[in-house]
Each structure stands twice: as C-alpha cells, then as structure tokens.
Amino acid sequence: MRARGFTLVELLVVVAIIGTLISLLAPALAAAIQIAYQTACASNLRQIGLATQQYLKDHDGWFFPLYTEDDGTGRYWYYGFEANGSPALGEGNRILDRTKGKLYPYLESSGVEVCQAFPYSGPYKPKYKGDPWTYGINRYFSSHPAHSLGNVNGNGNRPYDMVRPRDACRTVIFADSAQVVTFLAPATPTHPMTGEFPYIESGKKYVQFRHNGLANVLFADWHVEACEPAPGSFNPTLPDARIGCLDEKSVVLDPQAGHSSG
C-alpha cells in the first residue's frame, strides 16, 4: 500500500488544534512568568538587604546618603555616580557609573538592581544609558542632613536605631519604585511617562505595584513581602502604571510619626 501524506484539510485541522492549545496555555504561561519575576525581585531585595546590613555594620549603624556632592565632580547616588554634565546629555543618554555607588562594594552580584517586572515597554522614559535602578530606599533613612526625614534618636540626623529597631517587621527599608514623569523631555504634561525613582516617602506616589498589583518590600527585620497599595492611591495621570502609595495602616514609612497603632 502506498504511504500517503497529510491532506490539506488534515493539515489545517492540526494547525487549528495547535493554535487553540497555544491560546489556552498563553495566559498560564504569562502568569508563570509574572510569578518568576516576583520571586527573582524578592531575591534581589534580600540581597540588597544583606548589602545594607553589611554597610550599616561598617558605618556604625549609619545609612548611606541618598546622594552627596562631596568633591564637586558630580553626584554620588547610593546606587552610582553621575558626573557633572551628564544630565545635559538628555534623558536616556545620561551616564551612571554603578561601581561608584555607596552600596556597590556590598552587592555580591550585578543584576540585583533590576526588577524584571519594571515597565520597559509602554510609556517608559529611561534616565540612564543601560540598566536602571528599580528600587527606592525609604528616604527617612538617608544619612544626609539635606535628604533625611528622620531624627528618631535625637542625634543630629541619625535616622534610626538599627540595633534596636521599633516595629522592625513593619518598617519599610526598600520597595519596588517608579514615578510618573510629566517633565524632562520626551515626557510632557500631555505625554506622561514612567521612569525609575531612587527613593520612596510617606504619603508620596513613588511605589510601583508591578507584581500582579503588589509591590515587593524589604522591611527593617530584613524579610521581604509583597504588599498591597493604599486604596485609591494610584497616580491618576497614568493609572495603568499602578504607581501609588503603600498602605501606612499596615506598614511604617515614618517611624517617628507613630503610625504603629493597630
């Protein structure tokens, strides 16, 4: 008997079946990818937590400053150095030297600065050439007099007693962050875009809930947890970006403000 190939109709049926199977599996695959991103992000934050603990040990419990301009050559952010003149290169072309960030020597592997769920597509405006820094430090903890919001110990601007933290399991150190930008071209008030943002602050919309509506948060006892937004807090300029506030009924951003009831 002569072997016969597929008829055109049989082929079309097979193609249709495969197409249906793929369309059935695609949502499950997308959900699995999101879970993988969230897990990798939590691991990043745990590593940043270890780096921060080591930094605190080496600096008598003082946090790194948000940034300094010590030698007048540019801005030493905790996550990298940007030389004078770099901002003039324009958004997306600015140059960041990550190796000069205060935390860099304590980060054991590169890549921990990037949450893979950060919205690279859509209306995203990169700030620097290359990878962004996708997490925000609780600005309360900056040890720089001009940037710190904390004065808990009555000791100048010393931000927080990390040896005996109060309410450590609810006090936020780092979180998934981003901002809605309506200035700095190509963003304009009529063309709002998302961008990275290096700190978060009580009552400010700088936290991005990019993991299925949740944001990963590193707390002062160094555990990482996915947290919900404060109800109705998303920035209305770009609500789909899910950039808003943590719910300060359940987490603490300003240890001095006595948000610890409940």
In the complex, least distance from residue 103 CB atom to Zn ion, rounded to whole angstroms: 17
Report the SS3 class of residue 213.
Answer: coil
52 is a contact residue toward Zn ion (CB under 5 A): no
The terminus-to-terminus CA distance of the chain in angstroms comes to 81
Which part of the chain contacts Zn ion (CB under 5 A), choosing from 41-49, 77-85, 121-129, 236-244?
Answer: 41-49
Which part of the chain contacts Zn ion (CB under 5 A), choosing from 156-164, 168-176, 180-188, 194-202?
Answer: 168-176
Q: How, if at all, do strands 135-138 and 199-200 pair?
A: parallel
Burial class (CB in 10 A: 0-12, 13-18, 19+), 21: exposed
Q: How many CB atoms lie within 10 A of CB 20?
A: 10
172 is a contact residue toward Zn ion (CB under 5 A): no
Give Cα 146 distance to the centre of its chain: 23
In the complex, least distance from residue 76 CB atom to Zn ion, rounded to whole angstroms: 25
67: left (phi over 0), alpha (psi -120 to 50) or beta: beta
In the complex, least distance from residue 208 CB atom to Zn ion, rounded to whole angstroms: 8
In the complex, least distance from residue 47 CB atom to Zn ion, rounded to whole angstroms: 13
CA atoms within 13 A on the CB side of 148: 21
Binder of Zn ion out of 115, 181, 193, 227 (CB under 5 A): 115
112 is a contact residue toward Zn ion (CB under 5 A): no
41 is a contact residue toward Zn ion (CB under 5 A): yes
Binder of Zn ion out of 52, 216, 233, 235 (CB under 5 A): 216
Cα torsion angle, 73, 60, 58, 160, sign: negative
In the complex, least distance from residue 34 CB atom to Zn ion, rounded to whole angstroms: 10
196 is a contact residue toward Zn ion (CB under 5 A): no
Q: Which residues bind Zn ion (CB under 5 A)?
A: 41, 115, 176, 216
